[in-house]
Structure 1
């Protein structure tokens, strides 16, 4: 059976340190705990799709190290199709060095490793997976040429194409937008894409309008505790966030993207998918870690 969702993206091992606050430049702080947790935006989103009710395949790279073996096995344990996850000889797996403070804010440094070697040919080799899918998801932790190829191929195949533009440091190439069905940035990513401050619903509406004018069919700006804004051909709608006590916001955005995609792949409406993704993300922030925090479908049933 073909996977309904294909994720083309990164696999990282997250090295997570907890401290009362984030260190300042040149400062050494005493930490409180340390954990090694499978992560990477691509892998996180694939896990979210799998746990939240849709079949999924991953296309990406790991290094030929112990972390790579653990990352691949973590996906296999979730029943994710990993035929498209390649091992790159002589290269480390991707790493994310994460510090989380007492208020659940984090600072992250990414080392690409094998993720940096994911080429368009790597995706092209598994074109049958793309052909059999309903939804294709990309992020920006792999080379942009590979993202560009995947977006264009997804559009050519008539699939629902989602881009989570993270991490983002500036505008996207102009020719990407027309291939994107759902562009899903958070506040800081929307600000980087548009050059306009995004701090609340009003400024998010301005940014979303600008991104739609550039060609994205739908724009979803996630606003943390302020909810999410959906802007599309039918206008704009704000979705309030469920109220929770956050512990760790790591992978909240990935959980939303995966939950949203899983709901679409199951045939739910755009509005149902928005609400489902928000409920999943809200539950994830009450737990520590990236993939360990992602909930299962049964936990979200009424």
Structure 2
């Protein structure tokens, strides 16, 4: 099977700072890293490193050839990444000494993906494949509706949270993956509980506390899962790593609980590393990890 990921591609500029600055405050960074990022690229790399076949649907500008090349090196099929007349997306990331981050993104080419790309790419998909999406691009509702018509399963990570985008995608969604803040935002905005969203499986992550599973099969009774306890140095990309590994596990036929366990281990490894897509652990790292 194949994972088709409609997602962002960013140049990440990550600065290490002693603490996150207050409004109006200037502080000095101790180091800076430039690497591949964006929620979409992170998830594609994570799923590919988890041994799934991944096709990325996205766009970069004339300055983005390096990002496409790096994704290819990491095992992602990049044939459906368009070159558009816009600057490649980028993110400015501040990471403090405790591993917490603050991020500003510029969408750039991520908001210029041609709609024709959806049809040309998904015409190659097979029934039972997965479509994975986030909120750093446009065209999510169109892609979700097309995927459902073609018999694909739809996995959605509503981050950064936007209620209009989420409302348009949820009717087509099979798997929803979100953190506890996004869960509160969604249920408050929708004035509905998770059981009322009409989605078969909802996974809510809670950082170092693990998270919980809500499924139609278990009548929406929450089941908790644990997260390995590690010393965090950088939480950037951990949620993306979790989502990519989770969908990869399901794509490979794993039971939900096993796929979640693998994803939690991958995310735990991720927070012990500085960087984003370039340092996402591969499957061997996850399998050999001893927490």
Distance (Å, rounded) in 1 between the aligned partners of 2:185 and 2:162: 6
Q: Which residue of 2 aligns with 1:266?
A: 252
2:120 is aligned with 1:125:
yes
- Asked if structure 2 preserves the Cα contact closer than 8 Å seen for 1:178 and 1:217, the reply is no
Range with bigger deviation, 153-162 or 3-12: 153-162
* Aligned match for 1:31, one of 17, 29, 32: 29
Q: Which residue of 2 aligns with 1:219?
A: 202
- Asked if structure 2 preserves the Cα contact closer than 8 Å seen for 1:285 and 1:293, the reply is no
Alignment map for 1:192-211 (pairs within 5 Å) = 192-195=185-188, 210-211=193-194
What are structure 1's unaligned runs of at least 5 residues? 197-206
Distance (Å, rounded) in 1 between the aligned partners of 2:159 and 2:120: 25
Q: Which residue of 2 aligns with 1:81?
A: 77
Q: Which residue of 2 aligns with 1:108?
A: 103
Q: Which residue of 1 aligns with 2:66?
A: 70
Q: Tell me how large the CA RMSD over aligned residues is.
A: 1.9
* Aligned match for 2:227, one of 241, 250, 266: 241
> SS of 2:125's equivalent?
helix
Shift of 1:174: 3.7
2:255 is aligned with 1:255:
no
TM-score (norm 2): 0.93
Shift of 1:183: 0.7
- Asked if structure 1 preserves the Cα contact closer than 8 Å seen for 2:135 and 2:162, the reply is no
Q: Which residue of 2 aligns with 1:200?
A: none
TM-score (norm 1): 0.89
Shift of 1:150: 1.4
2:163 is aligned with 1:170:
yes
2:4 is aligned with 1:6:
yes
> SS of 1:185's equivalent?
strand
> SS of 2:15's equivalent?
strand
Shift of 1:216: 2.0
Instruction: Say how many residue pairs are matched.
Output: 285
What are structure 2's unaligned runs of at least 5 residues? none
